[in-house]
Amino acid sequence: MALDLVAVALPTPLRRCFDYLVPPELRACLPPGVRVEVPFGRRQLIGLVVSAPRQAEGGGYQYKPVSRVLDPAPLAPPDWLKLVLWAAEYYQYPVGEVVAAALPAPLREGRPALGRQARRLGLTGAGRQALALLPARAHRQRALLSALAAADLQLLAGEASGFDAAVLRKALEQQWVEERDAVAEPGARTAAPPLSAAQQQALAALQSAPPGFSVSLLEGVTGSGKTELYLRLAEQTLLAGRQVLVLVPEIGLTPQLSARFAERFGAAVASFHSGMTEVERNDAWLAVAARRVQVLVGTRSAVFAPFADLGLVVVDEEHDASYKQQEGFRYHARDLALLRAKECAAMAVLGSATPALESLAHARSGRYRHVRLEQRISGRAPPPAQLIDLNVYPTRHGLTEPLLAAVSRHLEAGGQCLLFINRRGYAPTLLCEVCHWTAPCRHCDARMTLHRARGRLVCHHCGHEELPPRVCPSCGGARLLPVGEGTERIEDALRNHFPGHRVERFDAERLRGGDKLERLLDEVRARKVEILVGTQMLAKGHDFPALSLVGVVNADQALFSADFRAVERLGQLLTQVAGRAGRAEQSPHPAEVLIQTREPQNPQLRLLLGAGYGALAERLLAERAEAGLPPSGHLVLLRAEAPHMTEAQVFLRGARDLALAMLDGASEVQLLGPAPAPMERREGRYRAQLLLQASRRAPLHRLLPGWLDQLEALPAARRLRWSLDVDPIDLF
């Protein structure tokens, strides 16, 4: 007997969809893309229909019926569902969990697909005047107006619980505050600035792409005006009635870029990132589907927004590792963005001053158009970097005399200074002077970092915290010294050395919660901050016109790493952070970049500083080709974690044997390992890994589905944690 069945993706760890019986009254209500509630064991789950109802023989199996349909129409267009299904297959991840990752939490939970008509609070012109005139004793009114002045459009109506309701009501009555749409409304356009000759040439090259899907790599030096080209392409797309997706690697880059688009076009612009509430993300997601949003600026998860008619995809800082999800569903947003553009016949632009080697290889092969911007808008060349040899110049709290003297010169000339150190905390470890004990993490093969501001030792790998000991736990000695430098220590040293100047620290510890980063960046642009100390968050996309000195406290961390991508990342990071300096057309002092290192003769460092990132990239591409590593080869990493290393090794040896049996002597896929992970113990579990390497993608993807089926059947698979990472960017 033929039955009407429908395939449903459910949030379970099983890598398949589930068939359910379609009641006759629901047959017309189950197109792909609607949510349904179905019985699953003793529970009711919310799932997504992934294919139209079909007829099949029952075969004596008792199929359970769909309980109810939650949506009158599909939540998203067909290309969205195609993207989700492709991602599940490519990354070999359970399709129901991929669907869950692609949907906002309220929709996953079965709530109605109705965007909340959220309103935001904004300060009016009268409100700004009132703020200037209010007496100091009106502290509650001043607090509200000051918050809105510093962060216009950031407080949602109904969520201003930090402010007195009566004060808020009075501010609305006095018309000091007004309610506005949560999604930026169309407004007055600002005029586009004139393009430089180099920008005009680059824009013409981008616009000459054939209609429909195309990919262009826009390689432009820092300060060359790539963002203005994004805006020009977006204008062309919006005039054609299509939507725009702009991906950025960090939450901190979304406010300024969203503001640029809103100011230029007055179009409906929304943000999408993990710093927003689930309700805000849900509102933006549904507004994109309803075409109430024309431009969406977001981090990697924004790639799953349900665009009705996507015409342009921009991936800014496309080289950034933040685009790769490192836990759970390990997708790469840049790669999915390109697939999204292909399915929507949209133009894709990958922008960077330091493109990923994969993107450069595609440009070299002709798969991507390669457009270059080799001059800054200001016409000034990027400042050359100079090395400070730490073998010659001693440091005090991580800083040499030449670097401190340079900071002093630039401050006297009215410039701003950025000191870069990619390490949070005060010191990387605590050392006993007597027995040389260092503070270990009890859960990881790592040292604990001293965070003096919090008075804690913190493991940056598992998050474990504890109080620093008063005496050495090993020998009882009382001489425990912080060794090495982190952002806190550099900040303290600069405050002590330059007491009359404002020093601010930019790292995850300092900027946790709220919109602290954006407020602090505004103060930097207003030149209220003179010395910035920061991690890599300051190397990405920020424009500080008055910044004239960049000092890199230590460039050596990545030079001897076992990770084959380490030198590429170092080249990108040093180029990006150096590019923050000297971007203004006129500067009170010639820009400088100073890099402290104990390896001034390192050939890769010399090549980077002497010939630039492009030359380093060419050498690395040749080395990767010789070793068969990406982009000249393809990798899949099987990780295992267990309470004992032997358990992880036994599982991985079994996995290796299964793969070898399936390959049956074929040499297209090489298996390396199993071997302990570079960090062998983390979060109390021992870690090992098996690496699969192939020169072509196809043999790997032929192997994976059947291999995973067999892995899941291994008895050891149920006794430990294991995961598969397709195209890993981190082998640790």
Same domain, 220 and 367: yes
The pLDDT value given to residue 168: 74
- Lowest mean pLDDT, pick from 162-171, 232-241, 632-641: 162-171
469: in domain = no
Query: For residue 183, what pLDDT is reported?
Result: 52
Distance CA 448, CA 439 (A): 6
Helix, coil or strand: residue 708:
helix
Report yes or no on 460 lying in a domain: no
Q: Binning pLDDT at 50, 70 and 90, where does residue 3 land?
A: confident
Cα–Cα distances in angstroms (integers) from residue 626 to residues 207, 570, 633, 711, in the given order: 36, 21, 10, 32
Q: E-assigned strands of 78-165?
A: 119-123, 155-156
Query: Is residue 462 situated within a structural domain?
Result: no
Confidence band for 511, pLDDT divided at 50, 70 and 90: confident
Is the CB of residue 344 less than 8 Å from the CB of residue 76? no
Question: Based on the domain organization, do 670 and 591 belong to the same domain?
Answer: no
Q: Are residues 250 and 351 in the same domain?
A: yes
Same domain, 221 and 97: no
Mean pLDDT of 446-469: 93
In terms of domains, do 159 and 268 share one? no
Is 344 annotated as a binding-site member?
A: no
Which parts of 266-348 fold into alpha helices (H)?
278-289, 333-343
- Tell me: pLDDT of 491 over 80: yes
Residue 109: its pLDDT value, please? 92
User: Are both 364 and 231 inside the same structural domain?
Assistant: yes
pLDDT of residue 171: 80
153 lies in the same domain as 267: no
Within a domain: 449? no
CB atoms within 10 A of CB 497: 16
Q: Identify the residue with better confidence: 7 or 137.
A: 7
pLDDT at 512 over 90: no
HEC readout, 481-544 = EEECCCHHHHHHHHHHHCCCCCEEEECCCCCCCCCHHHHHHHHHHCCCCCEEEECHHHHCCCCC
The domain boundary, picked from 345, 373, 401, lies at 373
pLDDT higher than threshold 70 for residue 704:
yes
pLDDT confidence band for 122 (50 / 70 / 90): confident
Same domain? For 560 and 581 the reply is yes
- Is the domain of 418 the same as that of 535? yes
Mean pLDDT across 284-292: 92
Q: Are residues 102 and 124 in the same domain?
A: no
Our CA dihedral for 663, 669, 671, 672, rounded to 10 degrees, sits at 170
Mean pLDDT to the nearest integer, 98-124 = 81
User: Tell me, what amino acid is at 412?
Assistant: E
CATH number of the structural domain spanning residue 50: 3.40.1440.60
Tell whether 475 is in a known binding site.
Answer: yes
Mean pLDDT, residues 708-720? 91
Do 203 and 352 sit in the same domain of this protein? yes
- Chain segment 645-666, per-residue pLDDT in tens: 999 999 999 999 999 999 987 7
* Residue 346, CA distances (Å) to 229, 287, 292 in order: 16, 20, 19
Instruction: Using the predicted structure, report yes or no on whether residue 188 has a pLDDT greater than 60.
Output: no
Instruction: Summarize the confidence of residues 588-598 as an average pLDDT.
Output: 86
In a shared domain, residues 172 and 98: no
Q: Is residue 260 scored above 70 in pLDDT? A: yes
Is residue 444 marked as binding?
yes
| Mean of pLDDT values over 483-491 | 93
pLDDT single digits (tens) 520-558: 888 888 889 999 998 888 877 777 888 889 999 998 877
Residue 568 in domain: yes
- pLDDT score recorded for residue 7: 94
Q: Is 432 annotated as a binding residue?
A: yes
Per the confidence metrics, is the pTM higher than 0.85? yes
29 belongs to an annotated ligand binding site: no
Q: What is the mean pLDDT of the segment spanning 679-707?
A: 94
User: Which residues, 6+ apart, have CB-to-CB distance to 504 below 8 Å?
Assistant: 491, 510, 520, 523, 524, 529, 531, 532, 533
What's residue 696's pLDDT? 93
3-state helix, strand, coil in the chain (%, to 5): 35, 25, 40
- 445 lies in a domain? no
Give the pLDDT confidence of 206-241 residue by residue, as tens digits: 999 999 999 999 999 888 889 999 999 999 999 999
CATH code: domain of residue 669: 3.30.70.600
Last residue of a domain, one of 333, 351, 373: 373
- Is residue 182 scored above 60 in pLDDT? no
Tell me the range of 18-27, 179-188, 320-329, 546-555 where mean pLDDT is highest: 320-329
Give me the mean pLDDT over the 300-320 stretch. 96
Token pair recorded at residue 724: 């598969």
Q: Does a structural domain hold residue 16? A: yes
**475 found inside a domain:** no
Q: Which residues contact 296 (CB under 8 A, 6 or more apart)?
A: 243, 244, 245, 246, 269, 270, 271, 272, 284, 288, 302, 305, 307
pLDDT: is 20 or 732 the higher one? 20
Q: Which of 560, 593, 623 is the last residue of a domain?
A: 623
pLDDT tens-digit series, residues 387-423? 999 999 999 999 999 999 999 999 999 999 999 998 9
| Residue range 472-494: mean pLDDT, rounded | 93
Tally the domains of the chain.
5
Per-residue model confidence (pLDDT) at position 154: 40
> For residue 126, what are the domain limits?
119-181
CA distance 288 to 292: 6
Local confidence band at 513 (pLDDT 50, 70, 90 cut-offs) = low
293: left (phi over 0), alpha (psi -120 to 50) or beta: beta
pLDDT for 118 beyond 70: no
